[in-house]
Each structure stands twice: as structure tokens, then as C-alpha cells.
């Protein structure tokens, strides 16, 4: 949960690097909270029959859009790639698989052009 809150604290920080653990823990809690928001929408009868979710989920998704993009960019920085590589997901099928592989790749050891190694910072702290 601390990783999720840390990403929210860095709401729109697109520079620096993010460890795999930070990114994937954010994704895990984001999915859990999104499902909870959909359930609340359905239990309160707010969900639209056409799309399956309602305003609570919509507001949650909107609120976590920028932090999700920011942590994704920082994750790509950790492996030495530009944040613009997120756009690779626009290539049908292959792009999503390629981005998934990039996001799961081990980060570069030591400092790179995007900042110091976050693993070394965590060990020193």
C-alpha cells in the first residue's frame, strides 16, 4: 500500500526512475481499487447497462490517469528508455506485448541519463 501512496504523492512527476516493485505494486492496488469502485457502482445501481460501470469508477479512473502515466514513464526511465515509449501500446497487439516486456525488464544498474538507481537509494536510506 505504501508504494501506491508513494505514486500518488508523486502525482505528476515524470522525471526520475521507478523500480519494478513500485510500478507493479501501484498496478496491483490500482486494479483492486478499480474493481471495488465498479462493485460500488453496481451495488448502488449507478452502473450503466451499456458500459458496465458508473460515475464512481469513472472518477477513480480519471483521478489515477496522470499518476499511472507518470509512474509508467519513470519505469521506462529505469530501463533507459524514453517515456515516449509508452506510445508503443498504440501498435495493435504487438505494442501491448512489447510494452509489457519493457515494464517487466530489470532496471539499469547505477545511474543513467534519467537519474540515480532507485534500488541503491532504497538500500542507503
The model's confidence at residue 123, banded by pLDDT at 50, 70 and 90, is: low
Q: What is the mean pLDDT of the chain?
A: 90
pLDDT at residue number 10 = 86
Q: Could you list the residue range(s) of the whole structural domain that residue 91 is in?
A: 2-124
Q: How many other C-beta atoms lie within 10 A of the C-beta of residue 56?
A: 18
Per the structure, the count of domains in the chain is: 1
In angstroms, the Cα distances linking 101 to 6, 22, 69, 73 are 24, 16, 17, 14
pTM above 0.95, yes or no: no
Angle separating helix axes 55-78 and 2-9, nearest 10 degrees: 90
pLDDT digits (tens, 9 = 90+) for 28-85: 999 999 999 999 998 998 888 788 788 999 999 999 999 999 999 999 999 999 999 9
Amino acid at each position: 500500500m505504501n508504494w501506491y501512496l508513494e505514486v500518488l504523492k508523486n502525482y505528476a512527476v515524470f522525471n526520475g526512475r521507478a523500480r519494478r516493485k513500485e510500478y507493479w505494486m501501484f498496478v496491483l492496488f490500482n486494479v483492486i481499487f478499480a474493481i471495488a469502485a465498479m462493485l460500488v457502482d453496481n451495488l448502488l445501481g449507478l452502473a450503466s447497462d451499456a458500459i458496465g460501470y458508473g460515475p464512481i469508477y469513472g472518477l477513480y479512473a480519471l483521478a489515477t490517469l496522470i499518476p499511472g502515466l507518470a509512474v509508467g514513464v519513470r519505469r521506462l526511465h529505469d530501463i533507459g528508455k524514453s517515456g515516449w515509449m509508452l506510445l508503443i501500446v498504440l501498435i495493435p497487439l504487438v505494442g501491448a506485448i512489447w510494452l509489457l516486456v519493457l515494464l517487466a525488464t530489470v532496471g539499469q544498474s547505477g545511474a543513467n541519463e534519467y537519474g540515480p538507481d532507485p534500488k541503491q537509494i532504497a538500500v542507503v536510506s
